[in-house]
Amino acid sequence: MRVLKICFSLVFVVLLGVGVVSPFVGQADDGNNLDFVGIVDSRPTGVTGTWVIGGKSFTATSSTQIEEEHGTLSVGVCAKVEYPSATDLTAIKIESKEPLECSGGGGDALHMQVYGILQSFPAGQTGNWVVDGVTYVADAGTEFNEEHGPFTIGQCVEVKFLPGSNQALEIETEESYKCSGTPVTGFTEIYGVVESFPADLVGAWVVAGTTYTATLDTQFEQVNGPFFVGACVEVKFVGNTKTAVEIGTTTPDDCDGTGGEPAELKFYGVVDTIPVGMVGDWVIEGETFTSTSTTTIKQEHGPLAVGVCAEVEYFISSGDKIATKIGSEEPYKCNGATFTNEVYGTVNSFPTSFFGTWVVDGINYVADPALTELEQSAGAFAVGSCVKVQYFVESGINKATKIETENAGDCSGGAELPGLSKVYATIDSFPPSPFVGTWQIGGVDYEATAVTQFEQDHGAFANGVCVEAKYTASSGVNSLVKVETESAYKCQNSGGVQPEFSGYGVVEVMPPTTDFTGVWQVSGITYTATAGTEFKQEHGFFAVGAFVEVKYVISGTTRLMTSLETHVAPNAGTNTVSGLLTAFDANDKWNDWTIDGKIYKADPVIEVGTNGQVPVAGEPVILNSYQLNGVDYVTVVNMASQTFLPVVSQP
- What are 368-393's pLDDT values in tens digits? 888 888 999 888 999 989 998 888 87
Give the pLDDT band (50/70/90) at residue 643. very low
Give the pLDDT band (50/70/90) at residue 480. very high
Give the per-residue pLDDT at 21.
26
Residue % of the chain over a pLDDT of 70? 82
Give the per-residue pLDDT at 438.
95
Give the per-residue pLDDT at 476.
85
Give the per-residue pLDDT at 326.
92
Which of 93-107, 416-430, 436-450 shows the highest mean pLDDT?
Answer: 436-450
Q: Which domains does the chain possess?
A: 24-102 (2.40.50.320), 187-255 (2.40.50.320), 265-329 (2.40.50.320), 334-411 (2.40.50.320), 421-566 (2.40.50.320), 575-644 (2.40.50.320)
Within 10 Å of residue 26's Cβ, how many Cβ atoms? 21
Give the pLDDT band (50/70/90) at residue 29. very low
For 354-359, which contacts have Cβ atoms below 8 Å and span 24 or more sequence positions?
354/381, 358/389, 358/400, 358/403
Across the chain, what does the average pLDDT equal?
A: 80
**Distances from the Cα of 223 to the Cαs of 218, 233, 247, 592, in angstroms?**
16, 11, 11, 54
- What are 530-554's pLDDT values in tens digits? 999 988 887 878 888 888 999 999 9
Q: Which of 117 and 97 is assigned the larger pLDDT? A: 117
Residues sharing a CB contact under 8 Å with residue 83, sequence separation 6 or more, in sequence order: 33, 34, 35, 36, 58, 89, 90, 91, 92
pLDDT exceeds 50 at position 647: no
326-351 mean pLDDT: 80
Give the per-residue pLDDT at 28.
47
User: Rounded to the nearest 5 degrees, what angle is found at the Cα of 507, between the Cα atoms of 362 and 574?
Assistant: 80
Give the pLDDT band (50/70/90) at residue 336. low
Give the per-residue pLDDT at 413.
63
Give the per-residue pLDDT at 182.
46
- What are 293-304's pLDDT values in tens digits? 878 888 888 889
Please give the DSSP secondary-structure letter assigned to residue 229.
T
138-150 mean pLDDT: 86
Give the per-residue pLDDT at 484.
93
**Distances from the Cα of 148 to the Cαs of 145, 155, 156, 157, 177, in angstroms?**
8, 9, 9, 9, 12
The length of the chain in residues reads 651
Residue 561 pairs in a beta bridge with: 552
Give the pLDDT band (50/70/90) at residue 1. very low
Give the per-residue pLDDT at 7.
39
Give the per-residue pLDDT at 526.
92
598-615 mean pLDDT: 84
